[in-house]
Amino acid sequence: MQLLRERIIGQDAALNEIEKMLHVVKADFSSPDRSLSVTLMLAPTGVGKTETVRLIAEAIYGRPDAFCRIDMNTLAQEHYAAALTGAPPGYVGSKEGHSLFDELEKASNEVIRGLMNVLDTGRLTLTAGTKTIDFRNCMIFMTSNVGAQAAQQYLDKLSYLPEKMQALCLKRVPTQRIIEKVMQRKFDPEFLNRIDRSLHYQAVQHDALPRLVEIELDKLNKRLQHQQRSVHLSASAKAYFYQDHDIRYGARHLGRKMRTELEPILALYFLNQPEQFSLHLDCVDGQLVVLPEQAKA
């Protein structure tokens, strides 16, 4: 859990529930007739839902990709319902560890109904009937953005009110309730009743942005380790990446901005000066600039 709490920022309530679930799994007295756990993670984009699953895989198996991921937006049409039981490449054989059904709301209703037996009994029988995939030793995670747009529209309306009135409205009708109402309209009660936990991730707040920039910078420096190189940002350079950030796009937008604006500078510098192993950047007049050698000290 230490790894999750270091990398997933501002989601303490959701992480507390995941910690409880992992304790039960580790104690090894789960029901033998169903999956180890079934968790639905609800939130807008870029807040850490998929990253949570990747970090759990990394903590347990040593690799962040050590899980079976099924993008449900590829199963958006009803005639794709058979794809789950038709054993397309990559869907079969990941019967231990954990599985992620990503962007659940984009799958057709028939596909969602096809999942109910997996959630209920931990088994999936293939179309030919000759093989059954066993999910009973598997943690199942599902992610969804359902209700996120309605919740954002609600917050946009509240933004015209005084702060005290906003707080009062959010106390009486929290965004979680808005999301749950949309979720109940989208998914059948029979499906929702087979989910152990529905976790509500919060939108990324402005006070979390500096820490998220630090996390992305740490990731970049780890990728540079094999070249024995590193990049360092001044406080103003770090602020460059999160100032004017639209929190609707979450942490993923921060990572994209660093990839498209920082990494090209870094690549050009090291390609032109291969003898250099460290790069220091500052922000001057809204532009990232390389600090001269004498200024680095």
Determine the CATH number of domain 206-296.
1.10.8.60
5: exposed, middle or buried (C-beta count within 10 Å: 0-12, 13-18, 19+)? middle
3-state secondary structure of 39: strand
Indicate if the pLDDT at residue 293 is higher than 80.
no
Mean pLDDT value of segment 52-57: 92
Buried b (16+ CB within 10 A) or exposed e, 217-232: beebeeebeeeebebe
Task: For residue 143, count other CB atoms closer than 10 A to its CB.
Answer: 24
Q: Which residues, at least 6 apart from 181, have a Cβ–Cβ distance to it below 8 Å?
A: 147, 150
Mean pLDDT value of segment 67-82: 68
Q: Which of 89-93, 115-119, 173-177 has the least mean pLDDT?
A: 89-93
pLDDT of residue 95: 40
- H or E, element range at 234: none
Q: Where are the chain's structural domains?
A: 2-146+187-200, 206-296
CB contact at 8 A, 254 and 217:
no
DSSP letter at 110 equals H
**Using 50, 70 and 90 to split pLDDT, how confident is the model at 70?**
confident
Summarised one tens digit per residue, pLDDT across range 130-161 is: 677 788 888 999 999 999 889 888 888 888 88
pLDDT of residue 174: 87
pTM: 0.79
Indicate if the pLDDT at residue 220 is higher than 90.
yes
Assign domain 2-146+187-200 one CATH number from 3.90.1660.10, 3.40.50.300, 3.90.330.10, 3.40.1180.10: 3.40.50.300
pLDDT, averaged across the chain: 84
192: exposed, middle or buried (C-beta count within 10 Å: 0-12, 13-18, 19+)? middle
d(CA 194, CA 160): 39
Indicate if the pLDDT at residue 81 is higher than 50.
no
